[in-house]
Chains A and B, each alone.
Chain A
């Protein structure tokens, strides 16, 4: 069954993660702490990437090879800094 083997494979992957980060050896409350910390950090990184990714990409494309007026640089940096976050 495909679902079963996928589930087994995912469980095996989770076991490898546990072994590599040594959470296999931790007591349950330590595991909770560790996973909470990790998921929080990952969530924050994901959110930051989601917010800033389009702005950074558009900024990158604005600096194309043809020379730009210097004020546009200021405009873009002002845009970045004042972005509500």
Chain B
């Protein structure tokens, strides 16, 4: 636990007047201006932040109209009533009970299925279950083949008709840069490695599972990110949940964003550190928490915290917002805490050369203590990585649960990552990297529970596959539809998709926005990823 501290203090050892190092390009003397505006003014303007942002950073999120919120509650109220009715009927054996219940002998024990989540699952999720877990039977590229299935008992069981719905436009896969293919340079390289190394590694990293491919990958990732060293893991979720406990423990403080991913939340809880939540992307809230932590220390003993770790993500996939990284880094330096940046969605997608949100804001990768990311989204593979100082990564190699116990990455997957990363960096001789189209993740608020199911079904009828998200991934009254555009989509596909979405939006009355035109951000389309909540 000592090494990362030493590494980080070595980094921030040069004291500056305002506590920041002017480490941005062009020698811009930026810093955290002390007289920050009042908490009620969420100012994004460049002037007030003392030049932290190189260009205007505007994010416009519209509030939901009151009528829609009321109607959402009406819908949920009706469903709750019917849920109670159905539960009553199941209890009194009027209706066949198809969900899991306790056995007769366990009836007097603590009840297992009485909480709200199980009630929700039985009575709402089951009704619209056919819009999720749809089996696909081809590579998840721009178009995908889906297996058709029907249910004769209202989604409790499914049977396959045997038919395959071909050519469904795929708006649900995280195939941002189009690397999910079954032919091409990546596939050929992966096939070659497969014939050389096989598919399984049969060991964990620390035992016999450390291949030369893994070393090559880690060197490449470190070079890609601009950090000293990196380590790759087999699963992106496990990278977060298994490494945060290795970095912090009891007596440390974690400041986590409201809308952090489940893997970060799980990792934070597993570590045993104290967790405090700050409002989503709200720097005043974060600063207040930092001040309180420094001034008051640990709750009862008033001792100073051993470590303060700020957990943020590069892009929040549900909300569609980008983290205010310059401000977070300025705060981190002022209060001498550490930053853990999860770039699952932003690596490969943001920044002029795809190096992520750090490059997007033009900051120094050394400012972020722990840079984490996944290979699932932009690289078309699986797994995650952590990058940072050499001492930190060496520490993680011995102390991370994932390194000690989990099987290492499969060689063909490693080769896929290596090839795609080289492609993005432009080192394989093609100009693919320069002509990178951006990735876009758009979320559209559906709100009403029935519209979730209706939207998914209507879109599939029109041969477009989308992902709808509801509770518990989002707050219960805010269900959304998420569209992931990728570089593999052609203009015709996007036009078709837009036309169908427009049609379904009119049909289901999804156009809640009061603006005539959706307020576009003032960044060019093909340079960055941006998010907006529309319709």
Interface residues in chain A, defined as those with a beta carbon under 8 Å from any beta carbon in chain B: 12, 15-16, 18-27, 30, 34
Interface status of B294 (Cβ within 8 A of chain A): no
CA distance A23 to B79 in the complex (A): 9
Q: Is the CB of A24 within 8 A of B78?
A: no
Task: Tally chain B residues at the interface, Cβ within 8 Å.
Answer: 20
A21/B82 contact (C-beta < 8 A), A16-B509, A27-B154 known: no
Contacts of B79 in A (CB 8 A): 22, 25
Q: Is the CB of A26 within 8 A of B448?
A: no
Contacts of A15 in B (CB 8 A): 507
Identify the interface centre among B82, B448, B451: most chain A CB within 10 Å of its CB: B82
Contacts of A34 in B (CB 8 A): 78, 82
**CB-defined A-B contacts under 8 Å, sample of 30:** A19-B448, A19-B450, A19-B451, A19-B454, A20-B71, A20-B74, A20-B75, A20-B448, A20-B450, A21-B74, A21-B75, A22-B75, A22-B76, A22-B448, A22-B449, A23-B78, A24-B450, A24-B453, A24-B454, A25-B79, A25-B124, A25-B127, A25-B128, A25-B449, A25-B453, A26-B82, A26-B127, A30-B82, A34-B78, A34-B82
CA distance A16 to B75 in the complex (A): 12
Smallest beta-carbon distance B447→chain A, Å: 11
Interface residues in chain B, defined as those with a beta carbon under 8 Å from any beta carbon in chain A: 71, 74-76, 78-79, 82, 124, 127-128, 154, 448-451, 453-454, 507-509
Smallest beta-carbon distance A70→chain B, Å: 44
- Chain A's closest residue to B451 (CB) is A19
Q: Is the CB of A25 within 8 A of B450?
A: yes
Identify the interface centre among A22, A23, A26: most chain B CB within 10 Å of its CB: A22
Question: Which residue of B78, B154, B507, B508 contacts A22 across the interface (Cβ within 8 Å)?
Answer: B78
Smallest beta-carbon distance B469→chain A, Å: 17
Smallest beta-carbon distance A10→chain B, Å: 15
Question: Which residue of B76, B124, B154, B450 contacts A18 across the interface (Cβ within 8 Å)?
Answer: B450
Q: Given A19-B508, A19-B509, A20-B74, 18 more contacts at CB 8 Å?
A: A12-B507, A16-B509, A19-B448, A19-B450, A21-B74, A21-B75, A21-B78, A22-B75, A22-B448, A22-B449, A23-B78, A24-B450, A25-B79, A25-B127, A25-B449, A25-B453, A26-B127, A30-B82
Please give me the 6 A-B residue pairs with the lowest Cβ-Cβ distance, nearest first.
Answer: A25-B127, A22-B75, A22-B450, A24-B450, A19-B450, A22-B79
Contacts of A27 in B (CB 8 A): 154
- Chain A's closest residue to B457 (CB) is A24
CA distance A12 to B507 in the complex (A): 8
Contacts of A24 in B (CB 8 A): 450, 453-454
CA distance A15 to B450 in the complex (A): 11
Smallest beta-carbon distance A5→chain B, Å: 15
Smallest beta-carbon distance A15→chain B, Å: 8
Contacts of A21 in B (CB 8 A): 74-75, 78
Contacts of B78 in A (CB 8 A): 21-23, 34
- Chain B's closest residue to A12 (CB) is B507
CA distance A23 to B451 in the complex (A): 11
Smallest beta-carbon distance B333→chain A, Å: 51
Smallest beta-carbon distance B504→chain A, Å: 12
- Chain A's closest residue to B124 (CB) is A25
CA distance A20 to B70 in the complex (A): 10
Contacts of A23 in B (CB 8 A): 78
